[in-house]
Amino acid sequence: MSTIRNAQDTRSKILDATFHEMHHHGYQGFRIDAILKATALQKGALYHHFPSKQALGMAVLEELIQERIRDLWIKPLTEHKDPVAGILSMYKNAAKSLEDSFFIDGCPLNNLSQEMSALDEKFRKSIETFYASWRDAIAESLTHGQQQGFIKKDIDLQHAAFFIITIIQGCFSHAKIAQSREAFEACSDELARYLFTLYNK
């Protein structure tokens, strides 16, 4: 049991170190040697868990980045009867709770979308599939909002969900350019302005 636990701890240590390197330097910019130095592991131990740089990068994408977005932006949707209030609440929570690196280095998913979509089909497909599941989750929340009487009946919910994600990721890009958490916070007013147009008045 301790052997299994040690293997899991080692794998998690590698993933965490790689996430930080990828977030700061990008997938193409991070080096395996930096991961080995950060984890004090030998190459054999790293390649035992991840046979290639691509396998390591994909694991970071699917097990850390996507899971963290699920925890921050998707799962909380189910806690709100009013989807507009829920989305704004999640945005404000992100603005307050995320580490400074998310506003300086950018959203890790957004970064990889721009860096890897034209270069690696495996990365592109994983990112595309994840964005589709995020859109579906928002559209489902908006559907429940319609059923509760909050949201207009004539809204194309998939298009609205697509636009909401675009606004959120655009705000992360703006914050990255400005190197400022405050720039991300400032976007909340315009996000709110759009979301309020969805209300059934």
Average confidence (pLDDT) per 10 residues, the chain, 201 residues: 71 96 96 94 92 96 96 94 95 94 95 96 97 97 95 95 97 96 93 95 77
Give the model's pLDDT for residue 201.
77
93-98 CB contacts, 8 Å cutoff, 24+ apart: 94/184, 95/181, 95/184, 95/185, 95/188, 98/72
Strand, helix or coil for residue 106? coil
Instruction: For residue 27, report the phi and psi dihedrals to the nearest 5 degrees.
Output: -65, -45
Q: Which helix (H) or strand (E) holds 24?
A: helix 2-25
- Note the pLDDT of residue 200: 87
What was the pLDDT predicted at 2? 57
The pTM of this model reads: 0.91
Q: CB-hemisphere CA count at 13 Å for 194?
A: 17
pLDDT value for 3 = 59
Whether the CB-CB separation of 175 and 183 falls below 8 Å is answered with yes
Cα 87 to Cα 159: distance, rounded to the nearest angstrom: 16
Residue 199 phi/psi, 5° resolution? Answer: -65, 145
The set of residues, in sequence order, having a beta carbon less than 8 Å from that of 116 and lying 6+ positions away, is 27, 123, 124, 127
